[in-house]
Amino acid sequence: MNTTDQSKFPLVVIVGGGFGGLEVALRLKDAPVEILMLDKHNYHTFQPLLYQVALGSLESESIAFSFRKNFSGQKNFRFRIADVKKVNAEKNTIETNIGEITYDYLVIATGSTTNFFGNKDVEHYAMPMKSIPEALNLRYLIFQHLEDAVLKKVKEERIPYLTFVLVGAGPTGVELAGAIAEFRNHVLEQDYPELKKEDVKIYLADFLPRVLGPMSEQASNAAHDYLQNLGVELLLNAKVESYDGHQIAFEGGKVIETKNVIWSAGVTGVVPHGIDKNILERGNRIRTDNICRVDGSSNIFAIGDVAAMITPETPKGHPGVAQVAIQMGDNVGKNIAHLVRGEATEPFKYNDKGSLATIGRNKAVADLGKIKFQGFFAWLVWIFVHLFSLLGTRNKLIVFLNWIGNYMTYNGGSRLIIRRFVRGDVKYNAEEVTKGE
């Protein structure tokens, strides 16, 4: 399959339009190649702000950006909406729902999905939040349950609808817990005068002994204090045993009655069929060499969350964060250009630029190398970094204006239930944004 009239150039197929996939395509802008990007959606998602979509603080369009628009000036780039079914490495082809595609170089940038660790009941009833459709499903469910709570005459009947259990105390869980707590503390009684904020319970659970485990102890301790001050109850060293849509049970006997379980306790790589299972590492990630080339291959690369570059310095691979994907994408783009020109490749070296997490208004933690700080200044840095990283001037402006409105009133954003969402009794497809419409 050729995507331009320049069929004399090698075809680079990029599967996945996340942070890493975008960087590969941008780096190959002036290289003597054709680029074909495949993704299930026609937009890039800025995942760090999904939690704000889930709470209605931001509309989904403000954290999404069209691939075609982003690369409109890049003549060697083409895009197709496609679902990759299988990689045939021996034939240099991939099977998709739009036909078989022959590649010269393949970049697997498929990212990761929620890991339920084999617990089918939890997978069935808990809410993940790894994509815009999933964030919207979560938004609708939360506000449907608040509407349901209003209809209950007895306090005890309201409890399951007003109890939120977030499993996984990494950045996603911490930021979402803080956002729900601020909604409860400042917005709930304005929108729902029939409800009392004291009746809304928020739990953040993790099997580790502290929140924000990958970050410094200083950041973890600060986040711990911020969450407690917001009224979030922390359940640490707590492992989930089961969840049936009504009660979540932990090892040790603790049971919480709730209809709102949000799962961010782990991820697993999204590996296309056809990749040798013998080269899959922990977390379902593809083992690569020092230029992100798939083990045993000469022209297939894997980057980001789906890649595991095992070295003495990184025995478990690199962390699953955006900066890793971006830097791997940049390196792979440069190396494919080198290979096409017959030049030597450059090994990948990760430059850790640090970590940030926000826990509500004026509160954030920052680990920037040896510099570690918390509070208002860290929150300003978090805002600047996220605004700068968004694609599109329009998106930057919309998000910034929304943040100003939220900061001034505590009551910005949109909390509309555009469609009904049914979870549990009718198994949902998280990718169907407009299910039932």
Q: What is the CATH number of the domain that holds 212?
A: 3.50.50.100
Please, which residues bridge with residue 99 across strands?
96
d(CA 352, CA 371): 13
Do residue 301 and residue 259 come from a single domain? Answer: no
Domain for residue 358, yes or no?
no
pLDDT digits (tens, 9 = 90+) for 50-81: 999 999 999 999 999 999 999 999 999 999 99
Do residue 241 and residue 167 come from a single domain? Answer: yes
Domain for residue 155, yes or no?
yes
Do residue 250 and residue 279 come from a single domain? Answer: no
Q: Provide the annotated active-site residues.
A: 175
Domain ranges, residue 128: 120-265
> Which stretch of DSSP H or E encloses residue 239?
none
CATH of the domain at 103: 3.50.50.60
Domain for residue 332, yes or no?
yes
Choose the final residue of a domain: 204, 230, 265: 265
Closest C-alpha to 52, from 43, 42, 65, 63: 63
Q: What is the share, in percent, of the chain residues with pLDDT greater than 90? A: 88
Q: Strand 307-309 and strand 285-288: pairing?
A: parallel
Do residue 213 and residue 146 come from a single domain? Answer: yes
Residue matched to tokens 């808990």: 126
Do residue 143 and residue 257 come from a single domain? Answer: yes
Question: In the predicted model, what is the mean pLDDT of residues 155-180?
Answer: 96
Residue 113 structure tokens: 């999905």
For the entire predicted model, the pTM comes to 0.91
Choose the final residue of a domain: 239, 265, 291: 265
Query: Considering its fold, how many domains does the chain have in total?
Result: 2
Domain for residue 69, yes or no?
no
What confidence score (pLDDT) does residue 424 get? 57
Distance of CA 388 to the CA centre of its chain: 18
Do residue 275 and residue 333 come from a single domain? Answer: yes
pLDDT digits (tens, 9 = 90+) for 379-399: 999 999 999 999 999 999 999
Domain for residue 428, yes or no?
no
Give residue 7's pLDDT band: very low, low, confident or very high (50, 70, 90).
low
Give residue 144's pLDDT band: very low, low, confident or very high (50, 70, 90).
very high
**Amino acid symbol at 58:** L
Closest C-alpha to 308, from 292, 296, 326, 330: 292
Choose the final residue of a domain: 341, 365, 392: 341
- Coil, strand or helix: which one is 404? helix
Half-sphere exposure of 322 (CA within 13 A, CB side): 18
Do residue 242 and residue 216 come from a single domain? Answer: yes
Q: What angle do helix axes 393-409 and 376-389 make, rounded to 10 degrees? A: 150
Looking at the predicted structure, is the pLDDT value of residue 429 above 80?
no
Do residue 218 and residue 231 come from a single domain? Answer: yes
Do residue 175 and residue 275 come from a single domain? Answer: no
pLDDT digits (tens, 9 = 90+) for 310-336: 999 999 999 999 999 999 999 999 999
d(CA 348, CA 289): 9
d(CA 263, CA 141): 14
User: CB neighbours (10 Å) of residue 221?
Assistant: 15
Domain for residue 370, yes or no?
no
d(CA 288, CA 272): 15
Do residue 294 and residue 180 come from a single domain? Answer: no
d(CA 158, CA 109): 43
Domain for residue 168, yes or no?
yes
Domain for residue 63, yes or no?
no
Do residue 235 and residue 128 come from a single domain? Answer: yes
What confidence score (pLDDT) does residue 434 get? 36
Do residue 233 and residue 283 come from a single domain? Answer: no
| Burial class of residue 80, CB neighbours in 10 A (0-12, 13-18, 19+) | middle
Cβ pair 367, 355 in contact under 8 A: yes
- Coil, strand or helix: which one is 59? coil
